[in-house]
């Protein structure tokens, strides 16, 4: 039973990672009101937007198992792999910029 629950949790996380939150999930980002004047000012709700790929990058690159900077031919390719492919090892300091030593970023 524990294995089935674990598999369901992993599958759900994978789905959210690939597709974003489903439409029926309502995320409550209600701010704490500390000033009475804020009650009359409506605020726009914050919504979760899944990351999308540009058509150019999606058509020119694909995940094929490469993980390291030495396997990348360009900075744009490294960025695509970092953002879209699992188990990459191209951002050691986790700042979102891959292969800084190789491509001089």
Q: pLDDT (tens digit, 9 = 90+) per residue, 65-74?
A: 999 999 999 9
85 located within any domain: yes
72 located within any domain: yes
Confidence (pLDDT) at 11: 76
Highest mean pLDDT among 19-23, 49-53, 101-105 belongs to 101-105
Residue 39 — pLDDT band, cuts 50, 70, 90? low
- Show the domain range for 89: 59-105
3 located within any domain: no
Dihedral (CA of 23, 27, 30, 31) sign: negative
For 76-103, what is each residue's pLDDT tens digit?
Answer: 999 999 999 999 999 988 898 999 888 8
96 located within any domain: yes
100 located within any domain: yes
10 located within any domain: no
CB 57 within 8 A of CB 82: no
Confidence (pLDDT) at 56: 47
Counted domains in the chain: 1
15 located within any domain: no
């Amino acid at each position: 039973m524990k294995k089935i629950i674990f598999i369901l949790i992993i599958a759900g996380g994978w789905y959210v990672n690939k597709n974003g939150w489903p439409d029926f999930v309502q995320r409550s980002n209600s701010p704490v009101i500390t000033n009475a004047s804020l009650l009359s000012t409506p605020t726009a709700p914050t919504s979760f937007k899944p990351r999308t790929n540009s058509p150019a990058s999606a058509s020119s690159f694909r995940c094929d198992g490469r993980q390291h900077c030495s396997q990348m031919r360009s900075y744009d390719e490294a960025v695509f792999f970092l953002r879209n492919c699992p188990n990459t090892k191209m951002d050691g300091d986790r700042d979102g910029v891959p292969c800084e030593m190789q491509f001089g970023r």
